[in-house]
């Protein structure tokens, strides 16, 4: 005989038996298999840890914020510090970006500067430019925010042109260097019939094969277009050129390509002829640093349409 406790299945338990907790439900008694004491200590330790943590770190919410914690720890301050640190790391690159000739910044020749500029430009673009030009820089046609991905540039798509536009804006009264152009609103000047003729003529300019559907896939009236040439030469060619291919110096759009800033349907073109439209862009040189402007120019240029 051993005095070891017998196997549970064979044990006949009494009420209050030291090996049970004394609990019983429907005759089923609960064994007492105590946890080790260190387990209990660990449990107490977690409680102490938890309390200490809320004292040391920001924790308890109040009405206008949370307790600061005696360690004065703040993630915000930490982030600010990090940003400062990285800014400092990039200071050289930023200076370089203001001094260098933009066209010489390429992936092959200056990969570090090129990558930095593209990343910085993308960040600036997302923050400041995407509101109008869209996150993907595709613009909003109905509102006349130009698509920056295509190869059609009202004011030129070279790095210098883009940089100029970003720095000084378009039709921006506060900046004497801003680009400026104006188109006459022809309602009242031309008769309705003349307007209809010139609208269709303008649409026909980008129809190479003359089948009544132009490069932007819009159908137009070929007979009306045929009679619109004189109206165009008299009223529009001064800016858009005799061939209708525009003038970048004046900011007059090329009418022979497939891209229409405000849409290429007959209604949209007519609206432009009747009432004229003026897109405005703010000058960024005051708000963004020179390095940021240059980086953004490089970024926009890299989107696929840069010249």
DSSP H or E run through 290 = helix 290-301
Tokens 């006459």, residue located:
184
135: which DSSP letter? T
Angle at CA of residue 302, ends 299 and 305, nearest 5°: 125
**Comparison of 197 and 206: residue with beta carbon closer to other proteins:** 206
Instruction: Quote the CA–CA distance of 209 and 192 in Å, as a whole number.
Output: 28
Instruction: Quote the CA–CA distance of 148 and 151 in Å, as a whole number.
Output: 8
What's the min distance (Å) between Cβ of 215 and other proteins? 4
Instruction: Quote the CA–CA distance of 163 and 295 in Å, as a whole number.
Output: 9
Instruction: Quote the CA–CA distance of 152 and 228 in Å, as a whole number.
Output: 25
CA distances from 249 to 114, 154, 179, 253 (A): 29, 9, 9, 10
What's the min distance (Å) between Cβ of 123 and other proteins? 16
Instruction: Quote the CA–CA distance of 257 and 285 in Å, as a whole number.
Output: 32
**Comparison of 2 and 64: residue with beta carbon closer to other proteins:** 2
Tokens 């703040």, residue located:
74
What's the min distance (Å) between Cβ of 20 and other proteins? 7
What's the min distance (Å) between Cβ of 186 and other proteins? 25
Instruction: Quote the CA–CA distance of 204 and 147 in Å, as a whole number.
Output: 22
What's the min distance (Å) between Cβ of 84 and other proteins? 22
What's the min distance (Å) between Cβ of 131 and other proteins? 15
**Comparison of 10 and 64: residue with beta carbon closer to other proteins:** 10
Instruction: Quote the CA–CA distance of 162 and 301 in Å, as a whole number.
Output: 7
What's the min distance (Å) between Cβ of 190 and other proteins? 27
**Comparison of 23 and 275: residue with beta carbon closer to other proteins:** 23
**Comparison of 32 and 191: residue with beta carbon closer to other proteins:** 32
**Comparison of 124 and 254: residue with beta carbon closer to other proteins:** 254
Angle at CA of residue 249, ends 243 and 255, nearest 5°: 30
**Comparison of 35 and 88: residue with beta carbon closer to other proteins:** 35
Residue numbers at the binding site for other proteins (CB under 8 A): 1-2, 4, 6-7, 9-10, 15-18, 20-24, 29, 32, 34-40, 106-108, 134-136, 138, 147, 149-152, 206, 215-217, 254, 257-259, 302, 304-305
């Amino acid at each position: 005989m051993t005095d070891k406790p017998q196997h549970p299945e064979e044990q006949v338990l009494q009420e209050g038996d030291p090996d049970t907790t004394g609990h019983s439900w429907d005759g089923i008694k609960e064994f007492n298999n105590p946890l080790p004491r260190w387990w209990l200590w660990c449990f107490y330790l977690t409680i102490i840890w938890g309390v200490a943590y809320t004292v040391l770190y920001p924790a308890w919410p109040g009405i206008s914020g949370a307790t600061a914690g005696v360690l004065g720890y703040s993630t915000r301050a930490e982030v600010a510090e990090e940003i400062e640190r990285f800014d400092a790391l990039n200071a050289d690159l930023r200076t370089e970006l203001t001094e260098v000739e933009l066209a010489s910044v390429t992936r092959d020749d200056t990969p570090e500067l090129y990558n930095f500029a593209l990343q910085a430009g993308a960040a600036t673009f997302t923050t400041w430019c995407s509101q109008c030009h869209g996150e993907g820089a595709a613009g909003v046609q109905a509102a006349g925010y130009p698509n920056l991905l295509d190869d059609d540039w009202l004011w030129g798509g070279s790095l210098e042109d883009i940089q100029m536009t970003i720095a000084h804006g378009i039709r921006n009264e506060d900046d004497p260097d801003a680009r400026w152009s104006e188109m006459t609103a022809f309602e009242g000047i031309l008769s309705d019939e003349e307007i209809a003729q010139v609208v269709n003529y303008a649409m026909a300019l980008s129809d190479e094969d003359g089948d009544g559907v132009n490069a932007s896939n819009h159908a137009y009236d070929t007979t009306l277009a045929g009679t619109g040439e004189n109206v165009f030469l008299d009223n529009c060619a001064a800016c858009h050129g005799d061939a209708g291919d525009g003038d970048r110096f004046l900011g007059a759009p090329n009418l022979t390509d497939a891209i229409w800033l405000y849409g290429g349907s007959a209604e949209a073109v007519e609206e432009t002829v009747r009432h004229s439209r003026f897109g405005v862009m703010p000058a960024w040189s005051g708000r963004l640093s020179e390095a940021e402007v240059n980086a953004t120019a490089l970024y926009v240029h890299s989107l696929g349409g840069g010249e």
